[in-house]
């Protein structure tokens, strides 16, 4: 059992130690270069991961894969150099704050090792950048310096020339950023005064143009107002003419409507009177005919009977005092014949 435990421990130590002796780890922010005692520098950059090595036979160099910054500024106490002091073509001293981001070219780190720049390539890059900046910035005129667009143009023109010089060290600059350019205090004051006068002159010129524009605008507005008034009067006249025309047409239409109304009403009244007279005549004729027919009906035997029935229904005898000594009443009113004669007239 103890023997098995010993074997397991030895295997564990071997698994843990073997990568330490036979593998090397390259992080993502570095580039690995392998050197062999027999073949020399391996012509390939090694990236992120584990790479094989033989103890005492292989050695590895690790160079930065990230951007490096060469900064010329007096504001940063940790900067590699202060602001660049340059004498321009106009014999003026300027102080330039510049930042140059640079990096090792992809696939060329092994050449830095092979050419022996591993300890000095950063200094050579700084020296080369300083020389190129001094050479190119010294050619800038005062106008090129204090105008932003010209500064940007000049900084963009520096980059190709700088990369051409840095190619021998297998690095490349991504940009040349000129952050600030300052003159000596006394000359800076002169430049500020000059710029102030230039700005003041431009301001006066702008105010003059503004005054001319205001005057031109006033004149134009008055001309427009005049045209508006003329057009307003013209349209008012047209409106009055059209109004008069339409009023006359409306009056003529109203007169025609009144005439038509009177004519039609008169005709309607005549037709109505004629129709009413005809109706009254027909009604009178109908009434006369009805009376005639009624009289003829009542004159007939049935009519006399009907009249007798109506008379009998409406007849009220009232109180009658009879004289027992007078027998003529009974003879006249005591029989049906006498009553029939009384109502029918027979």
> Is the pLDDT confidence value at 101 over 90?
yes
User: Which one is predicted more confidently, 316 or 278?
Assistant: 278
Q: What is residue 315's three-state secondary structure?
A: coil
Does one domain contain both 306 and 212? no
DSSP state of 55: T
Instruction: Report the Cα 7 to chain-centroid distance in Å.
Output: 77
Q: Is residue 7 part of a domain?
A: no
Q: Which of 212, 184, 16, 199 is nearest to 85 (CA)?
A: 184
Q: Are 71 and 178 contained in the same domain?
A: yes
Q: How confident is the model at residue 20 (pLDDT cuts 50, 70, 90)?
A: low
User: Is 51 found in the same domain as 91?
Assistant: no
Pair (100, 192) in one structural domain: no
| Structural domain ending residue among the three candidates 183, 212, 241 | 183
CA distance 166 to 101: 13
- Structure confidence by residue, pLDDT tens digits, 280-315: 888 888 888 777 777 766 666 666 676 667 766 666
- Note whether residue 8 is domain-resident: no
CATH number reported for the structural domain that contains residue 102 in this entry: 3.30.479.30
- Say how many Å lie between the first and final Cα of the chain, rounded: 172
Same domain, 167 and 76: yes
Query: Is 147 inside a domain boundary?
Result: yes
Confidence of residue 343 (pLDDT cuts 50, 70, 90): low
State whether the Cα torsion 141-147-152-153 is positive or negative. negative
In a domain, residue 266? The reply is yes
> In a 10 Å sphere around its CB, with 0-12 CB exposed, 13-18 middle and 19+ buried, how is residue 51 labelled?
middle
- What single DSSP character describes residue 105? P
Residues 175 and 112 in one domain: yes
Residues 274, 224: one domain?
Answer: yes
Distance CA 26, CA 33 (A): 10
- Evaluated on CA atoms 228, 234, 235, 236, the torsion sign reads positive
The last residue of one of the domains, among 159, 183, 207, is 183
Last-in-domain residue among 183, 211, 240: 183
- Split at pLDDT 50, 70, 90, the class of 204 is confident
Domain hosting 164: range is 67-183
Q: In the prediction, which pLDDT does 77 show?
A: 43
With contact defined as beta carbons under 8 Å apart, do 61 and 32 qualify? yes
Question: Would you tell me the crossing angle of helices 336-344 and 301-314 to the nearest 10 degrees?
Answer: 110
Q: Are residues 141 and 203 in the same domain?
A: no
Q: Are residues 159 and 75 in the same domain?
A: yes
Closest CA to 132 of 95, 165, 171: 165
Please give the model's pTM, rounded to 2 decimal places: 0.48
Residue 92 lies in a domain: yes
Residues 157 and 194 in one domain: no
Q: Give how many domains the chain has, as a whole number.
A: 4
Q: Is the pLDDT of residue 346 over 60?
A: no
64-73, 197-206, 305-314 — most confident range:
64-73
Q: Hunting for tokens 């045209």 — which residue is that?
A: 227
Say what the pLDDT of residue 339 is.
60
**What mean pLDDT is predicted for residues 129-146?**
78
Within a domain: residue 11? no
In sequence order, which ranges of the chain are alpha helices (DSSP H)? 2-22, 109-114, 121-137, 142-146, 148-166, 185-299, 301-314, 328-333, 336-344
Using one digit for the tens of pLDDT, what is the confidence trace for 167-195? 898 899 988 888 877 776 666 666 666 67
Residue 197 has a pLDDT of 73
Q: Per the domain annotation, does 125 fall within a domain?
A: yes
Tell me if 81 sits within 8 A of 95, measured CB to CB.
no
User: How many other C-beta atoms can be found within 10 angstroms of the C-beta atom of residue 171?
Assistant: 22
The pLDDT, as a whole number, for residue 80 is: 44
- Per DSSP, the three-state class of 321 is coil
* CA 9 – CA 6 distance, rounded (Å): 5
Residue 252 predicted with pLDDT over 90:
no
Q: Look at residue 304 and tell me if it is in a domain.
A: yes
Whether residue 209 sits in one domain with residue 113: no
Percent of the chain past pLDDT 70, that is, above it, reads: 69
Whether the Cβ atoms of residue 135 and residue 176 lie closer than 8 Å to each other? no
pLDDT of residue 208: 84
**Mean pLDDT to the nearest integer, 119-124:** 86
Based on the fold, state whether residues 290 and 306 are members of the same structural domain: no
Average pLDDT, stretch 205-220? 86
């Amino acid at each position: 059992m103890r023997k098995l435990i010993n074997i397991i421990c030895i295997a564990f130590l071997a698994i843990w130690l073997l990568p330490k002796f036979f593998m090397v780890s390259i992080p993502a922010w570095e580039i690995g270069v392998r050197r062999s005692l027999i073949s020399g520098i391996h012509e390939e950059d090694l990236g992120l991961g584990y790479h094989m090595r033989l103890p005492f036979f292989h050695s590895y160099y690790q160079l930065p894969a990230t951007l490096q910054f060469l900064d010329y500024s007096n504001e940063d106490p940790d900067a590699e150099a202060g602001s660049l002091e340059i004498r321009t073509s106009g014999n003026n001293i300027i102080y330039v704050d510049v930042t140059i981001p640079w990096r090792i070219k992809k696939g060329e780190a092994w050449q830095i090792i092979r050419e022996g720049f591993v300890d000095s390539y950063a200094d050579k890059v700084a020296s080369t950048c300083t020389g190129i900046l001094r050479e190119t910035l010294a050619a800038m005129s005062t106008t090129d310096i204090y105008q932003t667009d010209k500064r940007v143009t000049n900084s963009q023109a520096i980059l190709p020339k700088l990369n051409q010089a840095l190619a021998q060290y297998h690095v490349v600059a991504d940009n040349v950023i000129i952050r600030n350019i300052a003159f000596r205090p006394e000359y800076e004051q002169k430049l500020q005064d000059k710029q102030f006068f230039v700005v003041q002159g431009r301001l006066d010129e702008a105010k003059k143009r503004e005054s001319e524009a205001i005057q031109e605008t006033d004149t134009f507005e008055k001309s427009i107002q005049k045209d508006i008034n003329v057009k307003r009067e013209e349209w008012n006249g047209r409106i009055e003419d059209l109004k008069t025309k339409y009023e006359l047409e409306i009056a003529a239409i109203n007169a025609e409507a009144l005439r038509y109304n009177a004519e039609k009403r008169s005709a309607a009244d005549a037709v109505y009177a004629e129709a009413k007279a005809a109706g009254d005549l027909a009604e009178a004729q109908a009434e006369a005919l009805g009376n005639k027919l009624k009289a003829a009906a009542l004159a007939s035997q049935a009519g006399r009977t009907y009249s007798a029935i109506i008379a009998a229904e409406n007849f009220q005898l009232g109180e009658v005092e009879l004289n027992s000594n007078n027998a003529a009443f009974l003879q006249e009113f005591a029989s049906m014949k006498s009553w029939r004669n009384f109502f029918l007239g027979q």
